[in-house]
Each structure stands twice: as structure tokens, then as C-alpha cells.
Amino acid sequence: MNATTTTPAPTEERASAKTWKQRSSSWLIKGNLLIVFVIICALAAILSPEFLTVRNVSNLLQQSSLTGIIAIGMTLVILTSGIDLAVGSIAAFSGMTVAILLDGRMPVVLAIVISLAAGIGIGLLMGAVSSWVRLPAFIVTLAGLTAVRGWAYTLTDGRPAGTNLPAEFTIIGGGYLGLLPLTGLIFIGVTLLTAVILRYTTFGEYIYAVGSNEEAARLSGIPVNWVKAAVFGFSGFTAALAGVLLTSRLTIGQPTAFQGAELDAIAAVVLGGTSLFGGRGGVGGTFIAVLLLSVLKNLFNLMGIGSFVQMIATGIILVLALILNKFLDSRAQASAA
């Protein structure tokens, strides 16, 4: 008796092929930025032998850390389909606050806590106004950008603050743990903590639900207003943390610091694959995008390319990367259909 073999039905073959295509498209979308990052790093290593030196990699991590910390907080806001234009001003204000408090001989830990609390409070206030008063976050945070920056200038009439900051404070922004800068380690820690919140907590689920469909989330019993206020509070915290770290690194508070930081943060978040319409994305992509932008800037500096040309090249690369993300997203939706 001959053995019989069964062949899969044509519909099963098509379903299997479709599933494979969907998975491939999903992996490509999730990993395309990492692939681009690896390629650019490889090109940078070829074009500049100094790129992969320990000193340069350490400097790269330190230079990207402050913008990266701000971008992590911005990611949560954008996931709820909001926007926070006041992060640069909050960072400058908190940096000035900690410098003034330390000038007054306040204990380091207490000064840092008060400065971070100020950032959280400002963020919560803007989030509450946007959520409960139903004003667009763009308008509320634009007003915050101007008002908080003016507040930072008012603290010292526009002059820098902090003439003799204690060594135990300045070591935070300028110190190293082995070969790695402390600010870079803090950036990595904030990223990991936020990733855990988004993936493994109810609050993280609420963030994605609010960003995907706010009205459906409200009807499901999710406290939408509180969620939106909370993500602005978290964004204020990360901005304030960046401001404190910059003051620690510079050993002085600068009211002009972080001008334009909000644009750099938004660019990193969007480049990292988080949708401006909310509900899709995460901090992993933001982390890689921040490093990618820093690598490009670092490579240009090593090659002696002028700052004006750097701005043009970075803008072009950013647009091309966003076009690639949109193309891959469209392909994935077509495969799923």
C-alpha cells in the first residue's frame, strides 16, 4: 500500500504566505531605523578612523543624553496625540532654579528635588489646562514656552546663576562611571524605565488607548484627562532633569539654555517612528533616533563640515527617513488588508 501525502490547500498556502509577508513587513518597519543607524555608523567608521574610539563614543553618548532625556518625555506626550513646545523653557527654568538654590547653600538633594518638582508642576498645569479646559496642547504649550522662558530670565534679570556650585553636584553632569558618562547612563536609565511603564503597566495601556481613540477610551472608563495631564507632568520632569544635568555639567545656570530643544526632541520622536497622531510608537525608536542624529552631527564635525552644511544635510536625511517610514507603514497596511 502506497503511502499517501497530503498537500496544503491553496487557501492555506496563501494564508501562510500572507502571514509571512505581514511578519516580514512588521519586522522591517520596527527595525528599519536600527538598520539605518548601523549603516551610518559603519560609514562613519570608514570615513573617520576616530569615530569608533572609546573617547569619541563616550562623547557621543554624553552629547546626546540631554536631548534624549527630553525626547523620552516628549514621546509619551505625542503618543497621546499631544505636543509639548515648552520643554526647552522648562529645562532652562529648572537649571536656573537649582543653581540659585545651591547658591543659597541649600542641600544638593533638596535643591534637585525642588527643581524637578517645579518642572513636574509646570507640566501638570499645562496638561490640566489642555485637558479640562479643552484647549489645543499646541496653543497651551506655546504660551508656556514664552511664559516659562520669561520666568527663567526674570529670576536673575537675564544673567547666569551659580558662582560656586558644590563639587558633589557638578560631578553628576561631568562625571564618569568607568568609561561611560553619568549623563549617558541616566539617559539609558530613563529610557528603560519609560519602556517598562509603557509595556507592563496599566498607565502605559491607557496612554496608547487615549492616543488611538480618545473618545473610545473615555467611553471605556479610562480617565482621559488625568492620563493626558500625567504625560505632560512626566514631560516636565524629563525636561527639568535635563536642565539640572546641564547646570551640573556647565557649573552654572544659563537662562538661554535649551533654545530650540523642543524641535530637536520632536524630530527625534517622529524619526523614531512615533506617530504624531498618537497611539503608535515607543521610546526604543526615540532612543535610536537620538543617537542617529548625534552620530550624523559627530561625523560631520570629524570630517570638518561646516555647521550650515550640517543643517542642510541633517534636514534632508530626516525627511528621507520619514518618507521611508511612511512607505514601509503603507506596505504593512496593504499586506494586512
pLDDT over 90 at 333, yes or no: no
Q: Torsions phi, psi of 306, nearest 5?
A: -65, 160
Q: Torsions phi, psi of 176, nearest 5?
A: -130, 150
Rounded mean pLDDT, 119-129 = 96
Residue 271 has what pLDDT? 87
Strand, helix or coil at 304? coil
Give the helix/strand (H/E) hosting 176.
strand 176-177
Q: Regarding predicted confidence, which is higher, 224 or 178?
A: 224
Q: Is the pTM of this model over 0.75?
A: yes
| Three cell numbers, residue 247 | 547646570
Going by C-beta distance under 8 Å and a sequence separation of 6 or more, which residues neighbour residue 332?
A: 22, 25, 26, 29
Work out the angle at residue 271's Cα, subtended by the Cα atoms of residues 268 and 254, and round it to the nearest 5 degrees: 15
Over residues 20-50, the pLDDT tens digits come to 555 555 555 566 788 888 888 898 888 888 8
Rounded mean pLDDT, 252-256 = 93
Residue 299 has what pLDDT? 80
CA–CA dist 257, 253 (Å, integer) = 8
Q: How many CB atoms lie within 10 A of CB 50?
A: 11
Over residues 148-187, the pLDDT tens digits come to 999 999 998 989 988 789 999 999 998 999 889 999 999 9
CA–CA dist 58, 28 (Å, integer) = 29
| C-alpha distances in Å from residue 153, one per residue of 115, 250, 310 | 16, 18, 30
If pLDDT is split at 50, 70 and 90, which confidence band does 325 have? low
CA–CA dist 222, 229 (Å, integer) = 13
Over residues 185-218, the pLDDT tens digits come to 999 999 999 999 999 999 999 999 999 999 999 9
Q: Torsions phi, psi of 209, nearest 5?
A: -65, -45
CA–CA dist 182, 314 (Å, integer) = 27
CATH class label, 51-304: mainly alpha
| Three cell numbers, residue 58 | 563616550
In eight-state DSSP terms, residue 278 is S
CA–CA dist 74, 287 (Å, integer) = 12
Q: How many CB atoms lie within 10 A of CB 334?
A: 10
Q: Torsions phi, psi of 127, nearest 5?
A: -65, -40
Q: Would you kindly state where each structural domain of the chain is located, as residue ranges? A: 51-304
Residue 50 has what pLDDT? 81
